[in-house]
Chain A
Amino acid sequence: MSHLVEMTAQPSVDVDVALGTIGYLPATGGLERSYFAAPINVPLLDRYTVPSHVHFPISGWSASIYVSAEAHGAWTSPAEEYDRLVARWQRWAAEHLAEVWEEANVHRSAVRAAVRHPAFAALARLGSVGLYVALQRLTTQHRPLWIMFLQTVTNERPAAGTESITEAADAWRQWGRQHGLLA
């Protein structure tokens, strides 16, 4: 048994997930090709073995996720399964995009150039899931990137008047708590 759900597919990048691996075919090419072309384990999805097919847009990307009905027993509630799968995929995708974006831009001093990386737009379009991941990463060694991400995406200015990365990160975490995005 297989199940097919399609959402708005956006064709700039195709992502195929199957049997625990993922491969990207970047339409943009260029700097990020070496990262995007590498197979990556998807542990949360690797128990699915027989194709079902979901097109899910990570904003500007389209993803094909192959899942198994057989491995999962009777597929009695496709809608519920789909919602659960999408939520899991969104979170996984946001975490993965964040890592890709950090890896691609960790060497930069002028980090505003990092907005051109496709992972930036992809994360931004994930909405609250993307913001949550960004806020969580304010405790990493990549705070200048995430401070810029948050200001650019939200157009909010909670860190106005701060002049250090630590002060700005604290201000953004406070903003995240006030908006119910961080506990």
Chain B
Amino acid sequence: MTGPVEDIEARFPKLPRDGYRVTSPPDDAYNCVAWIARDTQRWWAPGVDGYYWPEELGDGDSLMDFVRLFEHLGFSQSPGGAREDGVEKIAIYGAGREFDHVAFQREDGTWSSKLGQLGDVKHDTIASIQGTGPFEYGPVIVYMKRGRQPHPLAETGLILL
């Protein structure tokens, strides 16, 4: 039996080295996409009853389908992830044409991620959760941005450990 911190560090071993903090307990009600949408009540993904996905976007689940979702939420593609005042950025991780994960840039330039059914984490670098390990996500393939909107849970966390 392992705890939530061990579960995360076993899958993303670079996090402790690079700097991170667990900011919520595990929760299977929402995922990383919902985290970007400030929705902690629904699992945002296409094609399965009980998940939430805007009907007008169809059932596709490629990386580009997720890019279209974020465009639907007001994001447009960005050349990079450097912090800019008043700009909200997200980093979309993938492998080939497949979507793996999306991380949210906090106001201080660090990142916030909901790791599947595991908890939320604040991580100092975008690279801490990507790599070639068996559970690490693929590289960041697309950055997107929009005018910054409040995301208090990503700033404070649901819990303070």
Contacts and interface: CB of A to CB of B under 8 A. Distances in A.
Given A31-B134, A165-B28, A112 B49 contact: no
Contact of A106 (B7, B43, B45, B61): B7
B99 A159 contact: no
B117 to A, nearest CB: 5
A107 B49 contact: no
A33 B135 CA distance: 12
Interface residues of B, number: 34
B48 A163 contact: no
Nearest to B66: A110
Given A107-B115, A107-B116, A165 B50 contact: yes
Contact of A110 (B11, B29, B61): B61
Interface stretch (A55-63, A128-136, A140-148): A140-148
Interface in B30-81: 31-33, 41-43, 45, 47-52, 61, 66
A34 interface: yes
A7 interface: no
A143 B28 contact: yes
B145 interface: no
B118 interface: yes
Contacts of A167: 50
A109 B50 contact: no
* A interface bracket (residues with beta carbon within 8 Å of B): 35 or more
Given A165-B28, A169-B50, A107 B41 contact: no
A163 B47 contact: no
Interface of B: 7, 11-12, 26-29, 31-33, 41-43, 45, 47-52, 61, 66, 98-102, 114-118, 134-135
Given A144-B45, A168-B51, 10 more contacts: A107-B116, A109-B116, A142-B28, A147-B49, A162-B49, A163-B42, A164-B41, A164-B43, A165-B28, A169-B50
